[in-house]
Chain A
Amino acid sequence: MRKIRYVDALIEALREEMIRDEDIFIIGEDIGPFGGAFKTTLGLYEQFGSERIIDTPISESGIIGTAVGAAATGCRPIAELMFGDFVTVAMDPIVNQAAKMRYMFGGKLKLPLVIKTNYGSGRSAAAQHSQSLYGWFTNVPGLKVVLPSTPYDAKGLLKTAIRDDNPVLFFEHKLLYTVTGEVPEEEYTIPFGVADIKRAGRDVTIVATGYMVTKSLQAAEELAKEGIDAEVIDPRTLVPLDKATIIQSVKKTGRLVIVDEGHKTGGITGELAAIVVEEAFDYLDAPVQRLGSLDVPVPFSPSLEKIFAPSEKDIIAAVKKIC
């Protein structure tokens, strides 16, 4: 199968969907001729023009609010935020408007809206350009939260996000953009709420999100050399969450390590652990291990940033602690 980059898989999804449906437009900062700060819309302006690839002023609250209004009235906007950290500037339209309008109005409208952005540390971009804030939105009913970890997932999940009639937050890890992987040329979509077993194993279940899937797979290969056979599960969507696949795996392995780049405190590792404790307690042979980023803002200096997010080494250590 052909191999393409994660970013190109995303652009392909955007292009194919925009050809399919005239109601789709993209709105955001520097996404037009410039192609986006991370080149996530490269070439789309040339194909679709300024009416459908809309460059905006620096006005995140305005961008998302506008997308909400357009989605409520028959368009299918995709709003891009240049950095995931800037969700904070647009919190009201996301949390109080997009997430709630349908419910508050008694189901009277639908909001086919995608908020597409990036996240993650590892680029020495410091505290305001490196955060992993997606976990917050799992605490707001009415939103869906997607975290693709491979080019294949990126394309298939983005298509599903665009076709979904609800607001979807789509978080891309900055370190994944240039990673290549197999993506078929034929049309496909990936349903939400279906976890992917990225590596099958018998001894321990590692549930990992986004870029942490990559690190967990690397850790699993190392562990295999020492005779520990880890199963790596990627939920792919945090809302909706495929609990069944995780629980089934834990029932098989009896051991669980959860790896996420969000902060450990108040983050999604706690939620996932709680679900397993609630629903598969009797199957656990060891305490659940959680790995998240340290509970500090993302530090700038590489000597500090390198210990900020869970590493392959941390994952190996956590697994060995319970295996």
Chain B
Amino acid sequence: MAANKELVLKMYEEMLKIRLFEEATIDVYQKGLMPGLAHPYLGEEAIAVGACTALENDDFITSTHRGHGHLMAKGGDMKKMMAEIMGKKTGYCKGKGGSMHIADVSLGILGANGIVGAGLPIAVGSALSSKRKNNNKVTACFFGDGASNQGTFHEALNMASIWKLPVVFVCENNQYGYSTAISKHIAIENISDRAISYGFPGITVDGNDVEEVYEAVKVAVERARKGEGPTLIECKSYRWTGHSVGDPGTAYRTREEVTENKAKCPIIKYGKKLVENGLATEENLNNIKSSVQEMVKEAVEYAIASPLPDENEIYQDLYV
């Protein structure tokens, strides 16, 4: 890993893209430019980036309501994302979906999803399709700790297992489902243990360590491609913000807890590591930051300048 300088810098940049994009998203909301809501991915960047870096371009992902990070890491276009978040005609879904429904099937992104747990069986279906078509594609399925309590999670894991489907279940354990702390909704220590009952490997990794996530998903992807079936990878991290942009996230957890977890920032941590290992200089990292800042700024400007959809588009795209 450490040897591949290009790859590690790319992962750093990708995480920073998500970070700055999400900060801009919150800003856009606070300025009243976003209709509805969004669920920020701040603090969880290493999971999307580590996992998507282990995928090929034509592999699939299913995403969640907290999807901006997944979309970006899978190659999503910032401009189209921001435009969609603002409900503009130039957005990924022509303004019809918004933050919670961004999709780009050409990039293998089968959509963010507003229904918790709905992505899991869809990922199984996508993996079944790859198996039938024998095209060697893998599906990575992102979902939260909360989602692992839906029936769909259990049904999906079992089906993927009996049919040895090429799917990697990536659980983003950010310690909360909305206001509910994990200790109140799950009685076991590691969600990855749930894989045991379905007969395939489950592991827990540090979701704030992009290389650890990458390595784990890479192994799982190889296993999937070889036809050996699914893997469950639980990535432990932390949701820095409230549940959504409208929730301060302070009613059900202490400031100390948030501060403590923010100190484990996956991006700062990785930047330090790269500098220490001589893979980057502070200057390199600063340059990356400036270029990403510019990108995000352009995306916001593009979105603001874009028109809203015309009323006559309301009936378009319903049926083929």
Contact = CB atoms under 8 A, between A and B. Distances in A.
A100 B115 CA distance: 27
Given A33-B252, A55-B180, A89-B115, A300 B36 contact: yes
A308 to B, nearest CB: 7
Contacts, number: 118
Nearest to B91: A301
B304 to A, nearest CB: 14
A296 B36 contact: no
Given A30-B179, A58-B117, A58-B150, A302 B315 contact: no
Mostly helix, strand, loop or mixed at chain A's interface?
loop
B100 interface: yes
B308 A302 contact: yes
B186 interface: yes
B146 A57 contact: yes
B308 A61 contact: no
A125 B309 contact: no
Categorize the interface residue count of chain A: 35 or more
A221 B92 CA distance: 42
B171 to A, nearest CB: 13
Interface string A60-75: 1110000000000000
A103 B175 CA distance: 44
B35 interface: yes
Contacts of A59: 149-151
Interface string B51-91: 00000000000000000000000000000000000011100
B114 A128 contact: yes
A88 B311 CA distance: 29
A283 interface: no
A301 B88 contact: yes
B132 interface: no
Given A34-B179, A301-B88, A296 B252 contact: no
B308 A29 contact: no
Contacts of A60: 150
A125 B146 contact: no
A124 interface: yes
Contacts of A85: 114-115
B184 A55 contact: yes
A56 B146 CA distance: 10
Interface of B: 35-37, 87-89, 93, 95-98, 100-101, 113-117, 146-147, 149-151, 177-180, 184-186, 251-252, 308-311, 313-315, 318
Given A29-B177, A29-B180, A34-B252, 18 more contacts: A33-B251, A34-B251, A56-B185, A57-B146, A57-B185, A57-B186, A89-B117, A126-B36, A126-B100, A294-B315, A297-B96, A297-B318, A299-B314, A300-B35, A300-B98, A300-B101, A301-B88, A301-B98
5 contacts: A30-B178, A34-B178, A57-B149, A127-B97, A297-B96
